[in-house]
Amino acid sequence: MILKWKSGVYTQKKSFNMWEIGNQKVDREKDFNEEILKIQGELDEIQAKIVLAKFLRKNIGFTLYLLSGVDMLPMQEIIIRSIFKRDNGLVVGARGGSKSTLIVFMALLYPILHFNSKMCLISTNFRASRRILEQAEQIINSRKAKLLKQCFENKQKNTKNIIERAPDLYRIRLGEPSNSEVFSLPLTEGLRGTRATFVCVDELVTVSEEMVEVIIRPFLTARQNYQEEVEIRRQEDELIKLNKMTEKDRVSFPRNKFCGFSSASYQFQYLYKYYTNLVKQIMEPKDDSSSNFCMRFSYEAFPEKNFLDMTQINIAKQDGGENTDYFKREYRAIFTDSSGSYFNIKKLNDCTIKIGNHPTTCIKGNKNSEYILSIDPSYSSSKGSDFFAMGVYLINKDERKITLVHTYGRAGGEIKEHFEYLVYLLTFFNIIFVVIDDSGTEFITGFNESSIAQSRNIKLGFITTSFDTDDYQEYQKALQEAKNEYNMTNRKIVYPQKFNASNGAIRRMNETLKNNIEAERVWFASHCRSNNESFNGQKDIQLPFDFRNNKEEILDIGDFIELQDELIDETKAEAALIEVKSTVTGILQYDLPQSIRRLKSDNRPRKDLYTCLLLGNWAAKIYFDMIFVTLEETMDFMTPIIIR
């Protein structure tokens, strides 16, 4: 559904269907507000409470405003009411379209309006899901939310801590008579056994089909208030036998619910499959056992002067940017195919280790394994700058394969932080080869001279050989020279790679990466947090420094592991955005689309993790070729000295 605001009313926009009920069974309800207008005379206290409760339930926008002072848009109220009414829901919306805010509103309203309910919030990571509860807590503690605060328990008196916080669980409880709760969980295999009456998943695009169908949906197998339902059904059966009620008069019990919020995805991904199946169930239901709601909205659906940052959207639209697949997915909520990029996103996903298998992302390497490190430096202090990026690749010499297992992407960090991270990587991983953008060699020089490196007796040396040639004989000679220079004992293992378009270096690197992805010689680790064995083996590791994310939050070990999982996915997403264009001189350029390069926000798409992948793959080629090349035998000749 795509809606356009006009004079305070949602109206149909040309070429789009505004609303489709399909053939699913729909309960036609009377307008309760009109029923209230018909009430004559006075109501006693009990009747007044009943009428008020029904009114608040039917007017959730007013309810939220009354309790908290927060005013939601009519469109937001439509979405929340529809989700509350249906068994399954899906909302696919534009970037910045308040999807997470909608979940915050639901987390406040649902437990109040549904007694004895258990609402479970899941997102792409635990940090994101618990942030939803933290935003709910902020509203509860706000000056205008005195009525709302009375609904929620606060076991720590004289504090504002509404949330119960634990390493793997955030929870808000409601006291009598509701006895409901809302809780956030990390997205792990440890979710098995959890039970809820309402599961809400934020950024469903990041969750695999296996995770949804095998682990998350089973949350909903237990019926709410089952014993009470059995007793009421028994009494109804007796009344029907006595002809004192009919089948249509039976009580309708609430059914467990599942809903997801997300940006649009590629058509080969699970989200698109779920979206199309849900639409089909609405239009052509096989039975009437469940009811469904599905909504897709563009940035165009919102009224003018709304909370959307139109500056960034207008920048992205310039020079045909609105026709790019990225703009269609991110801002118009349109699912796109995977054929528009140089590096095929479907193939990148096919080269990702399946959840539950090894290797996973890791924060400490296996002592018996060897790793390549790639570095793409950036020294800007701006949060909207490029990432200072690093990538760690597990190598498989026998099969000449690499797997990305650890990633660093920091915008605006201090040089000291980058030095600390490099020390951490060199200490926790058996790094046997390092490649860095040639323009960043001063970073290695500065690192060697820093107190943090010298205190740990770490010094890195450069390999001076150049591999920028298409000539086979020259390349073989360079391999032999590099093999002579390479010295693991003295850590002379750093190769500075020049990014030179004129001599074909950038083209060679990109073509090699593309070919290796197609040949499945480049792999991406599975999520550690979704693998109990791997997560339990790493969660107690003591990090040598305090590491921060790009929001300047110090990461605990769980968040640090989750960040690694995110950056693996972000690396693939960056690679999928790369497009190839030819200059007037015939030189190929590999870059983000112009419309994306114009964006300046802190969370704009970047290409630095892709650059690290490019460097890491090229370094692996050089390293594999170097260790397998046969050194030419040399003989030292001595000129005899004749003493007379």
- Local confidence band at 643 (pLDDT 50, 70, 90 cut-offs): very low
Tell me the per-residue pLDDT of 200-238, one tens digit each, with 9 for 90 and over: 999 999 888 888 888 888 877 766 666 666 777 778 788
Q: How far apart are the first and last CA of the chain?
A: 104
- Number of other residues whose CB lies within 10 A of the CB of residue 179: 13
**pLDDT value of residue 318:** 83
Tell me the per-residue pLDDT of 128-175, one tens digit each, with 9 for 90 and over: 899 999 999 999 999 999 999 988 866 555 556 789 998 889 999 988
Most confident option among 12-21, 205-214, 386-395, 474-483: 386-395
* Residue ranges, CATH 3.30.420.240, the chain: 345-577+606-628
pTM to 2 decimals? 0.84
Do the beta carbons of residue 565 and residue 481 sit within 8 Å?
Answer: no
- Cα gap 352→424, rounded to integer Å: 25
Average pLDDT over residues 24-37: 76
Peptide bond into 544 cis (omega under 30): no
- Local confidence band at 365 (pLDDT 50, 70, 90 cut-offs): very high
Q: Above pLDDT 70, what percent of the chain?
A: 89
DSSP letters, 188-221, are SGGGTT---SEEEEESGGGS-HHIIIIIIGGGGG
Q: Among 158, 6, 146, 16, which residue's Cα sits nearest to residue 69?
A: 146
608 CB contacts (<8 Å, ≥6 apart)?
376, 378, 386, 387, 388, 389, 409, 574
Rounded mean pLDDT of the chain? 86
- Local confidence band at 613 (pLDDT 50, 70, 90 cut-offs): very high
* Residue ranges, CATH 3.40.50.300, the chain: 51-220+257-305
More confident call, 161 vs 589: 589
Tell me the per-residue pLDDT of 272-311, one tens digit each, with 9 for 90 and over: 999 999 998 888 887 666 788 999 999 888 777 667 778 8
More confident call, 564 vs 588: 564
**pLDDT value of residue 582:** 83
Q: Among 635, 633, 623, 618, which residue's Cα sits nearest to residue 482?
A: 623
Tell me the per-residue pLDDT of 337-359, one tens digit each, with 9 for 90 and over: 877 789 999 999 999 999 889 99
Tell me the per-residue pLDDT of 235-258, one tens digit each, with 9 for 90 and over: 878 888 888 888 777 766 667 899
- Local confidence band at 13 (pLDDT 50, 70, 90 cut-offs): very low
Phi, psi of 479 (to 5 degrees): -60, -45
Tell me the per-residue pLDDT of 510-520, one tens digit each, with 9 for 90 and over: 999 999 999 99
Task: State how far the alpha carbon of 510 is from the alpha carbons of 107, 501, 515, in Å.
Answer: 46, 11, 9
- Cα gap 102→61, rounded to integer Å: 12
Radius of gyration of the chain (CA): 30
More confident call, 56 vs 29: 56
For residue 644, is pLDDT > 50?
Answer: no
For residue 10, is pLDDT > 50?
Answer: no
Do the beta carbons of residue 561 and residue 406 sit within 8 Å?
Answer: no
Do the beta carbons of residue 97 and residue 3 sit within 8 Å?
Answer: no
90 CB contacts (<8 Å, ≥6 apart)?
204, 259, 260, 261, 262, 274, 275, 278, 293, 294, 295
More confident call, 383 vs 519: 519
Q: Structure tokens of 486?
A: 């390479």
More confident call, 224 vs 335: 335
Query: If residue 562 lies in a helix (H) or strand (E), which one and from where to where?
Result: helix 557-577
Does the domain at 345-577+606-628 match CATH 3.30.420.240? Answer given as yes
- Burial label for 62, CB within 10 Å (0-12, 13-18, 19+), is middle
- Local confidence band at 39 (pLDDT 50, 70, 90 cut-offs): confident
b/e per residue 111-121 (b: at least 16 CB within 10 A): bbbbebbbbbb
What 3 state SS string does 18-83 have? CCCCCCCCCCCCCCHHHHHHCCCCCCCHHHHHHHHHHHHHHCHHHHHHHHHCCCCCHHHHHHHHHH
Q: The dihedral of CA 561, 532, 256, 169: what is its sign? A: negative
For residue 638, is pLDDT > 80?
Answer: no
- Local confidence band at 109 (pLDDT 50, 70, 90 cut-offs): very high
Tell me the per-residue pLDDT of 480-520, one tens digit each, with 9 for 90 and over: 999 999 999 999 999 999 988 777 889 999 999 999 999 99
The CATH H-level superfamily of 51-220+257-305 is: P-loop containing nucleotide triphosphate hydrolases (3.40.50.300)
- Cα gap 616→509, rounded to integer Å: 10
**pLDDT value of residue 637:** 39
| Low-confidence winner among 20-29, 30-39, 472-481, 524-533 (lowest mean pLDDT) | 20-29
More confident call, 228 vs 455: 455
DSSP assigned state of 438: G
**pLDDT value of residue 251:** 66
- Cα gap 410→551, rounded to integer Å: 10
**pLDDT value of residue 9:** 35
**pLDDT value of residue 15:** 37
Q: The dihedral of CA 152, 154, 159, 162: what is its sign? A: negative
Average pLDDT over residues 368-374: 97
